[in-house]
Structure 1
Amino acid sequence: MYLYHFGMRELPFTLTPNTSYFYGLPSHQQALQVLLTALQTGEGFIKVTGEVGTGKTLLCRKLLNELPAHFVAAYIPNPYLSASELRRAVAHELGIDSAALADDQLVTQHIQQRIIELNQQNKAVVLIVDEAQALPLESLEALRLFTNLETESRKLLQVVLFGQPELDEKLAQRSIRQLKQRISFSFQLTHMDEDQTFHYVKHRIEVAGFRGDAPFDRGACKLLFKASQGIPRIVNVLCHKALMLAYGEGKNKVTRSHVRLAIKDTEAAHQANSYWRLLAAFGLGALLIAGAWTIWHMRGGW
């Protein structure tokens, strides 16, 4: 791989959300401030939406890391759960053994008791749901009922929903209009612009340990921006492939040709030029051949 070639400790453009690579794009920083402010004021429901690949899960994990010490967080990363499964998942996150509980009513009672106990300890409980657009309607209604616990001044349970735009479509349904009315703060993540894309790429490479003149110049990043439409996940995919191509040719700089070949090999990228599409298979094929030859040479033959 290209790590040693470019002098990096780790791969900078993996798709796994890693908060050490959090760049703090304006959209993400604003969303984080909205979340922290809303939680501190004791609001019921808070919603953050964004297109696929805009960094919702990374922001979600950043929020978990930034929560003040008096918050107790229950994190649900995979919410494609029935109302019963959701109740038990929340119970588990709050340290409740729900296996011995006979029915959902008992599970709910134990959750309520636990939330009251934490409140008496001056703890605030927040339920954070990622990929919330996957929640069935009955599970969304179960969430609303959870938040009925409150004092005269604040909710005892707050809920943060991270989801794709489909979440807004689901919340628009009349059957759950009561939940929609309880969303007191909402924020929509935006895409990066061209300049932000350049600094985003530079930031990730530096976090990975690279020192020196960045392998991606402004021209290469301009192509990355156009092809990705400013979506971080697609930028990551393209940068990884472009670095592989540069490494395969023994070059220390990523050229526009490398970026174009990476674009044509990526279905999610915006395709702009059919000529480079014809070269994509050849370019990546040559890279694989070069990699195989390098391994063969290092082993002294087969």
Structure 2
Amino acid sequence: MYQQHFGLQTLPFALTPNTGFFFGLAPHVEALQVLQVALQSGEGFIKVTGEVGTGKTLICRKLLNELPDSFVCAYLPNPYLNPMELRLAVAEELGIATADVHDQLQLTGLIQQQLLNLAADGKQIVLVLDEAQALPDESLEALRLFTNLETEQRKLVQVVLFGQPELDQRLAQDNLRQLRQRITFSYQLRPLTLNEVAAYVRHRLAVSGYQGQPLFHPAEAKLLFKGSRGIPRLINVLAHKALMLSFGEGLSCVNHKHVRAAIKDTEDASQISQTWLWGLLLMALTLAGGAMLWRGLL
């Protein structure tokens, strides 16, 4: 690919969430801070929502990597599960043997006993669900019932929900109001600003080992921002394609043409209008005409 051409050790704009590329941008740091404070409180549901590609899974993995040893985590990356499947997945994450389990009542009892055992050992249990907007209503209700399990001092389990904005729409339903009332902390991820996009691109290139002159100048970073709408996943797609085009021409940096071609080739990117070119041309003609008139007057 273009790694050797640009002096890179790894691909800087891969789509797989990699905590090694985590960058302390304001929305991501704030989300992590909310999660950490919420988990220390020890109660209720915690919710993080954001548009597709804004970094929810990366934050989720960062959180899991940084949980103190006092936490036991059950992580469900694909929660499109009915209540029985959900309970089985939680049980397996908590190390419970489920081969001889015959019904939900028995399974719930085993989970409760394991939670009590872990709490007796001084552990805090957190259930983390990615793509939570995919949970069926009955499974969301099953989650709420999990948080009913408690000792006299505290809840036995906390639940962290990562989801797209559709999750908020789901929770707005009247039949889910009991769960909605138990959400004690929430955070909504926003897209990156222009300055954050430029810093994000520089950071990922630096982590990948790049040490030369800027590959994306301010004008190209602005195009990336417009085409991606500040969404990190789209930034990665566009920057990767632009670097491929630059490499294909044997150039040492990315130019306008490369970013525009990347945007045009990417289905979900915001297509850049060409009308600004006509505005520049009209301005140039006006200035030229004014200069000619001034010289005529002289």
TM-score, normalised via structure 2 length? 0.91
For 1:154 and 1:249, the matched residues in 2 are separated by 62
Match of 1:160 in 2: 160
Cα drift, residue 155 of structure 1: 1.2
Q: Deviations over 1:162-198 (max 9, x none)?
A: 0000000110111111100100000000110000000
Match of 1:286 in 2: none
Match of 1:299 in 2: none
SS for the counterpart of 2:153 is coil
Between structure 1 and structure 2, the one with the greater Rg is 2
Match of 2:220 in 1: 220
Q: Deviations over 1:190-210 (max 9, x none)?
A: 110000000000001111111
Q: Deviations over 1:82-131 (max 9, x none)?
A: 11100000001001121221111111111111110000000000000000
What amino acid is aligned across from residue 199 of structure 1 in structure 2? A
Cα drift, residue 152 of structure 1: 3.2
Match of 2:237 in 1: 237
What amino acid is aligned across from residue 184 of structure 2 in structure 1? S
What amino acid is aligned across from residue 157 of structure 1 in structure 2? V
What amino acid is aligned across from residue 111 of structure 2 in structure 1? I
Across the aligned residues of Structure 1 and Structure 2, the Cα RMSD in angstroms comes to 1.0
Match of 1:293 in 2: none
Task: Tell whether the 8 Å contact from 2:49 to 2:165 is kept in structure 1 after alignment.
Answer: yes
Q: Deviations over 1:42-85 (max 9, x none)?
A: 02100000001100000000000111110000000001111110
For 1:213 and 1:111, the matched residues in 2 are separated by 56
Match of 1:290 in 2: none
Alignment of 1:120-269 (within 5 A): 120-269=120-269
Gaps of 5+ in 1: 276-302
> How many residues were matched structurally?
275
Match of 2:295 in 1: none
For 2:92 and 2:200, the matched residues in 1 are separated by 37
Cα drift, residue 24 of structure 1: 1.7
Alignment of 1:12-91 (within 5 A): 12-91=12-91
SS for the counterpart of 1:75 is strand
Gaps of 5+ in 2: 276-298
Match of 2:285 in 1: none
- Structure 1 residue runs of 4+, over 4 Å off? none
For 1:137 and 1:99, the matched residues in 2 are separated by 27
Comparing 207-216 and 180-189, the one that deviates more: 207-216
What amino acid is aligned across from residue 72 of structure 2 in structure 1? V
Q: Deviations over 1:219-259 (max 9, x none)?
A: 11000001111000000000000000000000110001100
For 2:273 and 2:31, the matched residues in 1 are separated by 36
SS for the counterpart of 1:84 is helix
Cα drift, residue 274 of structure 1: 6.0
SS for the counterpart of 2:169 is helix
Q: Does 1:3 align with 2:38?
A: no
For 2:193 and 2:106, the matched residues in 1 are separated by 50
Match of 1:298 in 2: none
TM-score, normalised via structure 1 length? 0.89
Q: Deviations over 1:15-37 (max 9, x none)?
A: 10000011121011011001011
For 2:264 and 2:186, the matched residues in 1 are separated by 36
Identity of aligned residues (%): 62
SS for the counterpart of 1:9 is coil
SS for the counterpart of 1:23 is coil
For 1:238 and 1:43, the matched residues in 2 are separated by 41
For 1:63 and 1:11, the matched residues in 2 are separated by 24
For 1:21 and 1:43, the matched residues in 2 are separated by 31
